[in-house]
Amino acid sequence: MSGAAARAFIQLALRHQALGFGSFTLKSGRRSPYFFNVGLLNAGATLAELGRLYAGRLAAYLEESGQLAAPEGFMLLGLPYKGIPLAALACAAAAADERLRGADISYAYLRKEAKEHGEGGLLVGGEPGGRRIIVIDDVLTTGKALQITLKHLRDVWRIKPLALLAAFDRLERTAPEDEDCASRLLARREEMDVISIATVRDLLPELEERQREEIERHLAEHGPAAV
């Protein structure tokens, strides 16, 4: 991603205290001296900026990988829960992005439990129908949520997504014995692209010394060998 977009995302998150510092327990049970809370990016103009950042990252990725004109189109699949509004936001912003003008992009999500009335079933939004699937989420830590989604997609649709696009990659390992962070390891193991708007590497230069040192200590324990 361009350094400018990563910086814009970090500035947006810092401005709205969506990057908080203290002591937090993560989904994995891991303790962390910082936390990205995308729910604090909730005002209309802030969401519009976040949507543009997702769409810009998507456009850069599709351009670099030569897929902008893929005739089968794309589906942005929101990962429950926070990924769901983000996928809709990114999809709407993609419609206004110059580079994505010719691309056919829809959004969807899968319910955690099948609905028994009305339209019924698990899917809300467009049918995958051969589209290239890009999973959308807010943050990647150990990659467990992504792994569960990959299994679910194999079971429900017998498909593998093209990519995961998260706003923020914390560059942490899934397990202590892993040789690399979850995003790079999963990309290799699952043969998919795992990309983000920004990583913890983009955050570090923006911090005061004490916060930076605490995160560096956290990364020395949970991150890859070199950040």
Ligand X SMILES: O=P(O)(O)OC[C@H]1O[C@H](OP(=O)(O)OP(=O)(O)O)[C@H](O)[C@@H]1O
Ligand Y SMILES: O=C(O)c1cc(=O)[nH]c(=O)[nH]1
Burial class (CB in 10 A: 0-12, 13-18, 19+), 46: middle
Question: In the stretch 140-179, what mask flags binding to ligand Y with x, by CB under 6 A?
Answer: -x--------------------------------------
For residue 223, state whether it binds ligand X (rule: CB under 6 A). Answer: no
Strand partners, 21: 34
Q: Which stretch binds ligand Y (CB under 6 A): 47-55, 134-142, 148-156, 206-214?
A: 134-142
* Residue 115 designated active-site: yes
Of positions 2, 15, 17, 27, contacts ligand Y by CB under 6 A: 27
Which residue of the set 115, 151, 160, 218 is catalytic? Answer: 115
Ligand-binding site membership of 144 (annotated): yes
36-41 long-range CB contacts below 8 Å, 24 or more apart? 36/138, 36/139, 36/167, 36/168, 36/170, 38/82, 38/86, 38/138, 38/139, 38/167, 39/82, 40/16, 41/12, 41/13, 41/16
Ligand-binding site membership of 200 (annotated): no
For residue 1, state whether it binds ligand Y (rule: CB under 6 A). Answer: no
Which CB atom, from 83 or from 128, has the smaller least distance to ligand Y? 83
Report which residue type is found at 118.
G
Report which residue type is found at 50.
L
* Residue 16 designated active-site: no
Which CB atom, from 37 or from 67, has the smaller least distance to ligand X? 37
Rounded distance, CA 39 to CA 16, Å? 10
Rounded distance, CA 105 to CA 74, Å? 5
Ligand-binding site membership of 138 (annotated): yes
Active site residues: 115, 117
Site residues (CB under 6 A) for ligand Y?
Answer: 26-28, 35-37, 138-139, 141
- Binding-site residue set for orotate: 35-36, 141, 170
